[in-house]
Amino acid sequence: MCPAGATDCHVHVYGPNNAFPVAATRAFDVPEALPSSLSDLLDMLGIQRVVLVQPSGYGTDNSRHLTALKEVGRPARMIASLRSDVSPTELDRMHKAGVRGVRYTIGHAGAAPIAEMPELAKRIAEFGWHVQLHVMNDGSGNALVEMEKALENLATDLVIDHIGSIHPAGGLEQRGFAALLRLLETGRCWVKLSGAYRVSKAPPYEDMMPFVEKLVAANPDRLVWGSDWPHVAFKGSMPNTTDLLDQLMAWIPDETQRHRILVGNPATLYGF
């Protein structure tokens, strides 16, 4: 049973397509995954808070997820995708709606340009937002190595999706994971314990255990968990979301640390 205030920090919703058309720049076709379905799932899991993340399938049209903030039936926050010329009025409107960060994706042609990240970070810092980074590459984490100094110098905190998309086959000493640890140790970087099914084999993703242990040892106050529901753009063995929550129990056997990751850390990061 999840503790009171448990938070899923990484989900998406999709559809209906006639009301919220997908972007022409999408890299994959999206399913219908309505806020009502998400709400039912979260109720089943005992998760009381949620963070909606703008996916590449909608480009920089944030309307589907802004609307969903009112439809998921629980305290909710959102991470948007924005261009650097977004107006101050729009930023204020989004903040009042529940937006708390801006997401960038490395490796997706339709995403907001990474070059705009430092400029927009300065603007959203005034709202207490953060930059969220999704690395879509070969799993080496080399993008983190190449961008490490720039990421350290952002005007905001940084949140890195899916354990940096690091592939466990590369080992603990791989350069990308070393960069991830260094960023985490700064105290201004957060890492989502999510998306393991994309780089590992099957629950409980035991080959990721050493990586999680290193992250916990580096800075347990900067780790959060997300299911990545509804698991789009994935062609492997589709995970059961309940298994992904059980996976956290295996990864983090200490109840106090799990409570921090599920409740305390998200409350700090997203202002619940």
How many whole angstroms separate alpha carbon 244 and alpha carbon 5? Answer: 18
Q: Tell me the residue length of the chain.
A: 272
228 is catalytic: yes
* Residue from 43, 228, 243, 254 carrying the catalytic annotation: 228
Specify the long-range contacts of residues 85-91, CB closer than 8 Å, at least 24 apart: 86/120, 86/123, 88/123, 91/123, 91/124, 91/127
- Quick one: how far is CA 98 from the chain centroid? 16
Whether 190 contacts 224, CB under 8 Å: yes
Q: Look at strands 158-160 and 130-135 and give their pairing.
A: parallel
Place of tokens 């005034």: 126
DSSP strand E in the chain: where?
7-11, 49-53, 76-80, 99-106, 130-135, 158-160, 189-193, 223-225
Contacting residues for 160 by C-beta, under 8 A, at least 6 apart: 132, 133, 135, 144, 180, 183, 189, 190, 191, 192
How many whole angstroms separate alpha carbon 246 and alpha carbon 19? Answer: 35
Catalytic residues: 228
